[in-house]
Structures are given as structure tokens and as C-alpha cells.
Chains A and B, each alone.
Chain A
Amino acid sequence: MDKRRVRNNIRKLRFYHDEMTQEQLAEKVGVTRQTIIAIEAAKYAPSLELAFRIALAFGVHLEEVFSYTTDDETA
């Protein structure tokens, strides 16, 4: 089985939303700032519900925030 990981564009999306801080995003989606840090660093794959909440916070579709790819596909 190829090694896929949940990756994300949260850093980029925060930048395009007036440099939204991790704290602000955390408050919007109801988690701690440490969880946002862990998700951004791909150290934690959020639940489907939290993933939807993050996409809603940015007003985009889920696939624009998260992807499930291998290292080769990302490069």
C-alpha cells in the first residue's frame, strides 16, 4: 500500500484570509491553537467534522483545504 497522508493548505488559506492567526481559526472551529498547529504540520489528521468546520471557516470546499496524497504527488 502506498504511503498516503492527509495534507492541507491551511497556512496558505490563512494567508489569503487577511493573515488569519492560528488562534482566530482555532476559536472559529472550536479547538485549541495547538490542534491547529498540529493539523498544519500534518501531525494530526482531523475528524471529518472538524475538517468540514475548517473548510466552512474559510468558505471553501473540503478538497481545497485537505488532500490525501503521497510524497510523490505533492512534489
Chain B
Amino acid sequence: MSYRENTIAVSLASYLLILAYYVVNWLRMYQEQGLDSGTIFRLWVVVIVAGIVLNIVGNILTNIVLSIVHAIKTGTEKEPTFIEDERDKLIGLKGVQVSYIAFSIGVFLAMLSFVFSQPPLVMFSLIVFFSLTGEISGDISQLFLYRRGVRYG
């Protein structure tokens, strides 16, 4: 696995963890007391902040671990260069494209909740949910493209 694949895998793992935390807490909240704006806002803040912090910490840890592995493999203390070339950029762009498409579909589905007479909190909860699944689908598509290969167009 290349450096980029490792960082994407770490990002995917952190988003999956956050999604699981969000869904479990949201369902518990929904079953126990119904949706209360105070507690649901707190949950959104926790999810958004955790998303940012976990990604930063995950990236730093990946860099440290990969540098150690590189030093052990090569037997030198010279730091490895993690360059991002045109293929990485292309795959990154395609990943972002997949994320946006998945998120857009999610927003549309979230708006459908009004059709079923659900309160606005449900719609916003679904938007947070689909923003996480959008990120996850973008990461999965990037890992897939690294394995299968990528073409322009």
C-alpha cells in the first residue's frame, strides 16, 4: 500500500467510527426521548469536531508510523518523501466527485423526509448522516481506483 492509500484508509476508518458513533447515539436518542434540539445539536458538534480531530491525528500518526517503517526497511534515518503526483491528484479529484454526488443524492433524500411529515431536525440529522456517508464513499472510490487503475475522462 502506498502512502496515499494508507492515509485514505485511515480517513475511511475514522469516518466509519464517527458514523457508527453518530448512528448509535442518534437512534438511542430517538427511541428514548425523541429528538430534542439541545442534545441533537451537541451530537452534531461532537461528530463534526471528532471528524476534523480524528483525521488530523490519524494523518500525523500515519506519517510517524510510515517514517518509522521506512527507516527500518531502508536502514537510514533519511526522511521519506511523500510526494503527490498527477495520478494521486486525478484519483483525489475523482474521489471528491463521488463524495459530492453521494452527498447531493443524500441531501435530496433528506428533503424527502418533509414529504413524510418529519420535523426539520430529522432532515438536518439525515444531512449530517449523508455528509459522512459521502466522505466514506469518496474514500472507498479512491481506494478502488488505486487498485483498479484510473483513466482520464
A residues with CB within 8 A of B: 30-32, 34-35, 38, 41-47, 50
Question: Is chain A's binding surface mostly helix, strand, loop or mixed?
Answer: loop
Number of interface residues of B (CB under 8 A): 14
**Chain B hits for A42, CB < 8 A:** 149
Which residues of chain B in 8-61 are interfacial with respect to chain A, using CB atoms and an 8 Å cutoff? none
A32 & B86 in contact (Cβ 8 Å cutoff)? no
Given A38-B87, A42-B149: 11 more A-B contacts, CB < 8 Å: A31-B86, A31-B87, A32-B83, A32-B87, A34-B2, A35-B85, A41-B149, A43-B149, A43-B150, A45-B152, A46-B86
- Tell me how far the C-beta of B97 lies from the nearest C-beta in chain A, rounded to whole angstroms: 17
Assembled-state Cα–Cα distance A1/B55 (Å):
44
A50 & B83 in contact (Cβ 8 Å cutoff)? no
B residues with CB within 8 A of A: 2-4, 83, 85-88, 146, 148-152
Assembled-state Cα–Cα distance A31/B85 (Å):
5
**Chain A hits for B87, CB < 8 A:** 31-32, 34-35, 38, 44, 46
A43 & B2 in contact (Cβ 8 Å cutoff)? no
* Max chain B Cβ within 10 angstroms of own Cβ: one of A32, A35, A47, A50: A32
Partner of A43, one of B3, B148, B152: B148
- Tell me how far the C-beta of B10 lies from the nearest C-beta in chain A, rounded to whole angstroms: 17
Chain B residue with minimal CB distance to A39?
B87
Assembled-state Cα–Cα distance A30/B83 (Å):
9
